[in-house]
Chains A and B, each alone.
Chain A
Amino acid sequence: MKKQTNYSPAHLLYLKKYRRKNILINVCRISILLVLVGFWELAAQLEWVNPFITSSPSRICKTIGELYENDTLFYHVGTTLEETLLGFLIAVVSGYLIALGLWWSEAARKVIEPYLVVLNALPKIALGPLIIIWCGTGSEAIVFMTVLIGLIIAIMNMLNGFMATDANKLLLLKSMGASKLQILTKLVVPSSLPAFISMLKINVGMAWIGSIMGEYIVSKAGIGYLIVYGGQVFKLDLVMSAVVILCVLAAIMYAIVALIEKLVIKNDR
């Protein structure tokens, strides 16, 4: 459709209001953050609360600065990032492939279903001791934990996406004489793209849970390690700093997935 450029005054007014509303929302968002951070700092400075327990924005900045100066910031961030991304990729790719297999074979789907449900309900952290014994105390154990947490959800989400393929479109392809492989490549995979994106979004969160939980159980480095260590030696500034870093990283990863979504799903459905 062509874009109209000579708008009526009423439409211009509407656009103006729309833009104003957007700006207002952004201003509110940012001011909530600023007010909260400011109040926190003020409360700590004036010792309304004990900054040793609550920490404060300035102490967090100082701690992150120290981590940076003794060259451990990027070491810890890098360690966790590597574990998270590796676990995320393995869970997403194998989850997708397993879901494809289950879509392909109805028999396999029916047989596997109760296992999926039970495994999904099982808190994976219960497997912690086993993971340490199986994978050792290195990064492998943490990646394994991340995969465990993400995989089942990835399979279930993708399988739902595949099974939701429009029955009439299936009938259409069958009437054209399409093979199962053609149905898969021409219809099932492209039509489940939104399900794939939402699976990615869910798994970003799952991957962080997995890696941090893995580091709680066993680790020598990483953001989860900093949190556990900070808690044990009562350096709550360190705990808070690690949480802030985590927030930033998770937001960046989510933004990347949102960008992928924008690039992949161009036409409105």
Chain B
Amino acid sequence: MKEVLRFDNVSMRYHSKQGETVAVEDLSFSVHEGEFVAIIGPSGCGKTTLLSLAAGLLTPTAGKVVSSGISFGYMLQKDELFPWRTIEKNIFLPLEIKKTNTPEARARAIALAEKYGLKQFLKNYPSSLSGGMRQRAALIRTLAVDPDMLLLDEPFSALDYQTRLNVCDDVYKIIREEKKTALLITHDISEAISVADKVLTLSRRPARVVAEHELSFPESEPLKRRENKEFSKWFEILWRELNV
């Protein structure tokens, strides 16, 4: 498997009048093509910084972030659909930004939306959709420009528990079916176990990698994984690591 993203001893410091904050220190890990990597850590440990570093929105103060010329798609906690645009227009947004708003690209995006059950909502405004459907639309928007890798910043945390499990399952299947590499950041241990091939646990701020685990479940769907005996075993291991 090809390595697509690598953090080499990455550190990140923020400066403000009150002082400086070390958000991330000496962080190293890598993501390979087709992998679903989850990073878990205590809240406020600099997880969002990490994604911004991966996407190249921030430059590390020390160390290197190496990505092999891949494109990223970002998914945030809330769907962040623009309320003044229809679902269809929301999905076209990245095409407009990247100036690839050709009829072919639009047709591709529409086909993707229809494939994943958004056909009847294309002309609707986001306010008329349920939370789960909105998050699905946000995923299709991310996929519209066909990114090589998805960066997921706690994409389910704004949803209620019931919806979260369903949407998580949903998003996982879509990402797998579209054969995307994904890096998920979350504080939800069970969410990480239910989707990832590889889980990294981070320490409190400044964030360092505490441990790295390869998960192998016979099942691939998140909801089925949750029923596996291994699941609670992994939960305990990760729980301990987070609480050191």
Contacts and interface: CB of A to CB of B under 8 A. Distances in A.
Interface string A155-194: 0000000000010110111111110001000110011010
B80 A190 contact: no
B55 interface: yes
Nearest to A182: B97
Interface stretch (B32-40, B69-77, B226-234): B69-77
Interface in A226-269: 267-269
A171 B76 contact: yes
Contacts of A171: 52, 57, 74, 76
A176 B78 contact: no
B74 A172 contact: yes
A186 B93 contact: yes
Contacts of B42: none
A268 B82 CA distance: 11
Given A168-B80, A186-B96, A176 B125 contact: no
A175 B74 contact: yes
A169 B55 CA distance: 16
A187 B93 CA distance: 10
B76 A168 contact: yes
A175 B128 CA distance: 26
B56 to A, nearest CB: 9
Contact of A186 (B57, B72, B76, B97): B97
A166 B82 CA distance: 10
Interface in A116-172: 166, 168-169, 171-172
Contacts of B206: none
Q: Tell which of B77, B94, B151 has the most Cβ of chain A within 10 Å.
A: B94
A24 interface: no
Q: Tell which of A171, A178, A193, A269 has the most Cβ of chain B within 10 Å.
A: A171
Contact of B82 (A175, A178, A182, A187): A187
Majority SS of interface residues in chain A? helix
A175 B83 contact: no
Nearest to A178: B97
Contacts of B97: 173, 176-178, 182, 186
B74 A166 contact: no
B54 to A, nearest CB: 10
Contacts of A187: 82
B113 to A, nearest CB: 17
B127 A168 contact: no
A193 B84 contact: yes
Given A175-B55, A178-B97, A168 B78 contact: yes
B15 interface: no
30 contacts: A1-B128, A168-B77, A168-B80, A169-B80, A169-B82, A171-B57, A171-B74, A172-B74, A172-B76, A172-B80, A173-B97, A175-B57, A175-B72, A175-B74, A175-B151, A177-B98, A182-B96, A182-B97, A186-B82, A186-B96, A187-B82, A190-B84, A191-B84, A267-B83, A267-B125, A267-B127, A268-B83, A268-B125, A269-B83, A269-B84
Interface of A: 1, 166, 168-169, 171-178, 182, 186-187, 190-191, 193, 267-269
Given A175-B55, A176-B94, 9 more contacts: A174-B57, A175-B72, A176-B98, A176-B145, A177-B97, A186-B82, A186-B93, A191-B84, A267-B83
